[in-house]
Amino acid sequence: MKIKKVVFPVAGHGSRFLPATKATPKEMLPVVDKPLIQYAVEEALDAGFTDLIFITGKTKRAITDHFDQSLEISANLTEDKKQLFQQMNNIIPSHASCIYLRQGEPLGLGHAILQAKPVLGDEPFAVVLADDLIDAEKGVLRQMVENYDDNQSSLISVQKVAKQDASQYGMIATNDNKLNMQKLTNIIEKPHPNEAPSDFGVVGRYIFSNHILSFLEKTNPGAGNEIQLTDAIKSLLQEFPVYAYHFDGVRYDCGDKLGFIKANIELALKNKVFGSELLDYLKKRLASWG
């Protein structure tokens, strides 16, 4: 079955990024010149998704505005500006549509996804966490859709994480260490580094069979007193196959200040207009430190 629906949970507190996120959504923070959520949406469009479901909440209005055709193209604009405004008004192509749902209170990622149930029907769907920015030649969602097509089982993206960071991730166990797609046997939310079942942690790209929703409905608050997606995945994999997918690409945790700054530097260095000037600047700066 072709997957059309993708859920963007964007209703979280963004507390690791205060004060920037007090009144501005974390997902609207720009990496170079584009908000995080736009990178995520473009990745989903490139992978063929057409139904873009945003789970928004308090202080998240700017996300809705961003995808509106809100720039007025008045006659007195220069031709260059008219073109630019036109482009900005057409971030979402006409074959795709945005659906905005509210999470009244940020009770956890699992709870956010559950808000999409009324529009998900019984189809498989993807979930993208916009604060995980992944720089990849082929978008990670596209990589995952191709693998889902072959195999029709839930897929979660994973990467190797440093042992001391295990307590920031959902950490997985699999039955095989060789392939880039392995069957999950266990998953634990934010374990103590000594209790992590492997070196691999989950990052924010998922494709789920619809069964996940009934497990989410039965999931009680877990770590941080939030309804954790990880706990529902743990129940899902007892009854249905779930695979870990090792993607090609570099992921930046842009929900974290340092990760966000790294993403800005790396993507700015790739910028065609000012990348080489930035590199010269950084080299001079480093030289001045001896």
User: Which residues of this chain interact with ligand UTP, rule CB under 6 A?
Assistant: 9-17, 26-27, 55, 103, 106-109, 111-112, 129-131, 255
The residue nearest ligand UTP at its CB is 12
Q: How far is the CB of 106 from ligand UTP (least distance, A)?
A: 3
Q: Which is nearer to ligand UTP, 60 or 182 (CB)?
A: 60
Q: How many residues does the chain have?
A: 290
Pairing of strands 154-160, 242-246: parallel
Query: Cβ closer to ligand UTP: 96 or 229?
Result: 229
At 9, give phi and psi (nearest 5°): -75, 120
Tell me if 54 sits within 8 A of 151, measured CB to CB: no
- Report in angstroms how near the CB of residue 160 gets to ligand UTP at its nearest: 20
Shortest gap between Cβ of 126 and ligand UTP (angstroms)? 14
What does the angle CA 49 – CA 51 – CA 52 come to, to the nearest 5 degrees?
90
Structure tokens at 110: 């699992």
The residue among 78 and 220 lying less far from ligand UTP, judged by its C-beta, is: 220
Name which of 14 and 201 has its Cβ closer to ligand UTP: 14
Nearest approach, Cβ of residue 13 and ligand UTP (Å): 4
Name the minimum Å distance from CB 254 to ligand UTP. Answer: 9
User: Between 126 and 129, whose beta carbon lies closer to ligand UTP?
Assistant: 129
Report the nearest approach of ligand UTP to the CB of residue 253 (Å): 8
d(CA 271, CA 278): 9
Pairing of strands 132-135, 250-253: antiparallel
Q: Residue 280 class from Cβ within 10 Å (0-12 exposed, 13-18 middle, 19+ buried)?
A: exposed
What are phi and psi for residue 246, nearest 5 degrees? -90, 105
Q: Which is nearer to ligand UTP, 108 or 124 (CB)?
A: 108
* DSSP three-state, residue 55: strand
Establish whether the linkage from the previous residue to 9 is cis, with ω within 30° of 0: no
